[in-house]
Copies of this chain bind each other. A is one copy, B any other.
């Protein structure tokens, strides 16, 4: 493919004179050149990576870290630090260079040399948990800017709760054209604009280059106008002019009533032969060109070599935060002991001691009441007792509040006028919601949960995967979890979504059968520190199956015997989740009446069951009896349980969906698709011959 000569095109519109830049701000220039040359050296060593973006945004990042960012490399988890989010995560060498230069202990020079190698903290894209100072995992474009809305919301909520002496910081984001073309960015921009997140400042790396060519090959959007349309404060600057950068950040910080977007016109791969071209986006490894770029920079040093004076200037920026942090420690110490404890507990993701007793009490009451309730409604009832004792929960829904049952009486709606509100109307933005929730939990001090119809996990999936990859315990309340949704039809009826979620590593998928299991699922979700949870909840009313009160959290085992055959008479095991557990119980009644001893196993969380010892799994699912699984989703994945642990294979069958659903009242759908007690009993009879 022939591309236009972008270099010339851009030179005409926005010329750059490296020598003039060097001369105008010589000290700044060398500091920024340190980022540029570390990037070139690391990418050359790895023989892969993305050179152009760090080279283009080095000036902005330098001024930000020099003059504005509140951070202390000695205390990377300081709760009141400013957050720096590299949404354009492919430019990972920018953040790695910054963390090294400013003195983060983990960001050693060796790590930069090991960029993109096995076991290094300096992964191809910034990975949360690998390297201190990396606030979130980025790379899938748009995620960082969408996370940042959650970071900024968390800051607002905690500032309102703890006061600005304790929480009062900014969230800075660098986003590129790619981030802004991804739809999730619009969800983030819209939500941030409406919420008037004045402490959120986004730098748009406006370099006019994507992998395929110039941006206008795919987009002619005036990004400044677009942000302004959603209520943002917008500034436009030359992204290589340190004075302009500083002035813009000062103005952005002064504007506390709106988020700010600083549109930074930049040159990708500044000063390199590939400047202003798509080639500049990728790995610039040519040794001669690399040397030429260094010469243009006036950088007379070897690979990975940073002159002492430049390094010491950078380290001084890193040291600057120590005093601010000490001040903060003193201010924090003035909080009441109980506030301090609450703050520390929430940041540690520890559940309150009361949670266990609260859940037990709820379960006792529910098992005694014996009501038929939709699990989404049970979930609301559980939240009604949890939210008052867990100030760190922040609920929300993607415009399905009444359907997802996510709002409890004590949660005020979070708005610019009510920053203490713990309920967020995310709008019709499942992806943005999920990413914002990830941002909140990453910020610390918040345990977010948010709801939509389970089918729209499809929309949220990009961020849900990152919850799992980052090991953050975001909670997804996914209601209307099957054809039980009824008339809205197949576009709204999940059939493959349980499989899709179960297939995802490090994701606990709960499909509780009744109020008791719902309470157990919430307890597990809210005590989890490293795994996101999905609660798949029914639209339709479900009879209580856990009629016998047990204080133990049975769901913690993942699967357990709910009802059994008489000793020695077990011929069948029925396995089911959620709304189909009561179907299994009905089928058991039919079979037992016919003299067929039948065990029912409720399997609310496969992942937790998989983590049990084999002997526990065998105790729940012993060899011998025929096995039938019942679930109003597709079979995919069920073979793991239908075929049993090692040893002899059991005869088995599946009662569930084989294709997409349909539009009709729910009871008719269960009949038409054959997901009934009688169909289950018949399957057992057939297997028994």
Interface residues of A (CB under 8 A from B): 1, 46, 48-49, 89-90, 116-120, 123-125, 127, 137-142, 177-178, 181-187, 190-191, 193-194, 210-213, 216-223, 225-226, 228-231, 397, 399-403, 407, 413, 415, 425-432, 455-456, 458-459, 461-462, 465-466, 468-469, 486-492, 495-496, 499-500, 502-506, 634, 636-637, 639-640, 643, 648-649, 658-660, 662-665, 668-669, 672
Q: State the CA gap A619–B239 with chains docked (Å).
A: 66
In the complex, residue of chain B having the shortest beta-carbon distance to the beta carbon of A90: B488
Contact check, B425 vs A212: say whether CB atoms are below 8 A apart. Answer: yes
| Pairs of residues from A and B, 8 with the lowest C-beta to C-beta distance, nearest first | A183-B183, A649-B649, A218-B427, A123-B663, A186-B186, A118-B664, A639-B639, A499-B503
B499 touches A495 (CB 8 A): no
Most buried by B among A138, A402, A403: A402
Q: Which residues of chain B come closer than 8 Å to A222, judged between CB atoms?
A: 229-230
Residues of B within 8 A of A184 (CB): 183, 459
Question: Looking across the interface, which residue of chain B has its beta carbon closest to that of A118?
Answer: B664
A427 touches B210 (CB 8 A): yes
Q: Closest residue to A415 on the B side, CB-wise?
A: B217
Determine the distance from Cα of A532 to Cα of B425 in the docked complex, in whole angstroms: 35
> In whole angstroms, how far apart are the Cα atoms of A183 and B180 in the complex?
11
27 A-B interface contacts by CB (under 8 A): A116-B665, A117-B665, A117-B668, A118-B665, A124-B663, A125-B491, A127-B491, A140-B456, A140-B459, A140-B492, A182-B183, A183-B184, A194-B216, A194-B218, A194-B220, A194-B221, A211-B400, A211-B403, A222-B229, A222-B230, A225-B228, A229-B229, A496-B500, A496-B505, A499-B503, A499-B637, A505-B660
A503-B636, A636-B502 known; A213+B425 contact, CB < 8 A: yes
B402 lies within 8 A of A211 (CB): yes
Which residues of chain B are within 8 angstroms of A229 by Cβ–Cβ distance?
A: 221-223, 225-226, 229
Write the chain B residue with the least CB distance to A426: B218
Which residue in chain B gives the minimum CB-CB distance to A486? B48
B429 close to A183 (CB less than 8 A): yes
Give the distance in Å from the alpha carbon of A212 to the alpha carbon of B451 in the complex. 13
Asked if B462 and A458 make an inter-chain contact with CB atoms under 8 angstroms apart, the answer reads yes
Contact A219 B427 (CB under 8 A): yes
Q: Indicate how many identical chains form the complex.
A: 2
CA distance A75 to B657 in the complex (A): 35
Given contacts A1-B413, A640-B639, contact A118 B672 (CB under 8 A): yes
CB–CB A668/B118 < 8 A: yes
* Chain B residues positioned under 8 Å from A120 (CB to CB): 663
Given A221-B229, A459-B182, A636–B487 Cβ distance below 8 Å? no
Q: A212-B425, A225-B229 are in contact. Are A466 and B487 (CB under 8 A)?
A: no
Given A181-B190, A183-B187; 5 other pairs, CB 8 A cutoff? A127-B491, A185-B186, A217-B413, A218-B428, A225-B228
Contacts of A639 in B (CB 8 A): 637, 639-640, 643
B residues in contact with A124, CB < 8 Å: 487-489, 492, 663
Compute how far the CA of A636 lies from the CA of B90 in the bound complex, rounded to whole angstroms. Answer: 30
* Cβ distance A49 to chain B, nearest Cβ, rounded Å: 7
Q: Please tell me if the beta carbons of B659 and A505 are within 8 angstroms of each other in the complex.
A: yes
Let me know if A634 and B503 touch, CB within 8 A.
Answer: yes
Question: Which of B178, B399, B649 is in CB contact (< 8 Å) with A212?
Answer: B399
Cβ 8 A contact of A461, one of B177, B218, B461: B461
B118 engages A669 (CB within 8 Å) = yes
In the complex, which of the residues A228, A427, A459, A491 has the most CB atoms of chain B within 10 Å of its own CB atom? A491
CB distance from A667 to the nearest CB of B (A): 10
Asked if B663 and A127 make an inter-chain contact with CB atoms under 8 angstroms apart, the answer reads: yes
CB neighbours (8 Å) of A489 from chain B are 116, 123-125, 127, 139
A225: chain B residues within 8 A (beta carbon): 225, 228-229
Tell whether, in the assembled complex, residue A496 and residue B491 are in contact, meaning their CB atoms are under 8 Å apart. no
In the assembled complex, which residues on chain B have CB atoms less than 8 Å from the CB atom of A187?
Answer: 181-183
Are A193 and B221 touching (Cβ within 8 A)? yes
A231 to B225, CA, bound (A): 11
With both chains docked as a complex, state the minimum distance between the C-beta of A478 and any C-beta of chain B, in angstroms: 15
Q: What is the bound-complex CA distance between A685 and B481, given in angstroms?
A: 43
Q: How far is the CB of A435 from chain B (nearest CB, A)?
A: 10
- Say yes or no: A218 contacts B496, CB within 8 Å: no
Minimum CB–CB distance for A368 against chain B, Å: 30
Name the contact of A231 in the complex, choosing from B220, B402, B649 (C-beta under 8 A): B220
A51 to chain B, nearest CB (A): 13
Q: How far, in Å, is A424 (CB) from chain B's closest CB? A: 9
User: Do the beta carbons of A487 and B48 come within 8 Å of each other?
Assistant: yes
A425 adjacent to B218 (CB under 8 Å): yes
A399, B503: Cβ atoms closer than 8 Å? no
Least Cβ distance of A335 to chain B in Å? 32
B residues near A397, Cβ cutoff 8 Å: 212
Q: In the docked arrangement, what's the CA distance between A496 and B637, Å? A: 12
Q: B428 contacts A178, CB within 8 Å?
A: yes
Question: Which residues of chain B are near A415, meaning CB under 8 Å?
Answer: 217
B-chain residues with CB within 8 Å of residue A400 when the two chains form the complex: 211-212
Q: Are B183 and A432 in contact (CB under 8 A)?
A: yes
Please give, as numbers and ranges, the residues of chain B lying within 8 Å of A502 by CB-CB distance: 636
A401 to chain B: which residues have CB within 8 Å? 1, 211-212
- Please give, as numbers and ranges, the residues of chain B lying within 8 Å of A138 by CB-CB distance: 491
Closest-CB distance, A224 to chain B (whole angstroms): 8
Residue in chain B with minimal CB distance to A468: B660
Q: How many Å from the CB of A258 to the closest CB on chain B?
A: 10
Residue of B with least CB distance to A218: B427
Q: Tell me, rounded to whole Å, the shortest Cβ–Cβ distance linking A425 to chain B.
A: 5
| Residues in B neighbouring A456, C-beta threshold 8 A | 140, 462
Instruction: Among A49, A186, A461, find the residue whose CB has the most chain B CB atoms closer than 10 A.
Output: A186
- When the two chains form their complex, are residues B230 and A220 in contact, meaning their CB atoms are under 8 A apart? yes
Interface centre among A49, A118, A648, A658 (most CB of B within 10 A): A118
- Inter-chain contact A221/B217, CB cutoff 8 Å: no
Q: Which residues of B contact A49 (CB under 8 A)?
A: 487
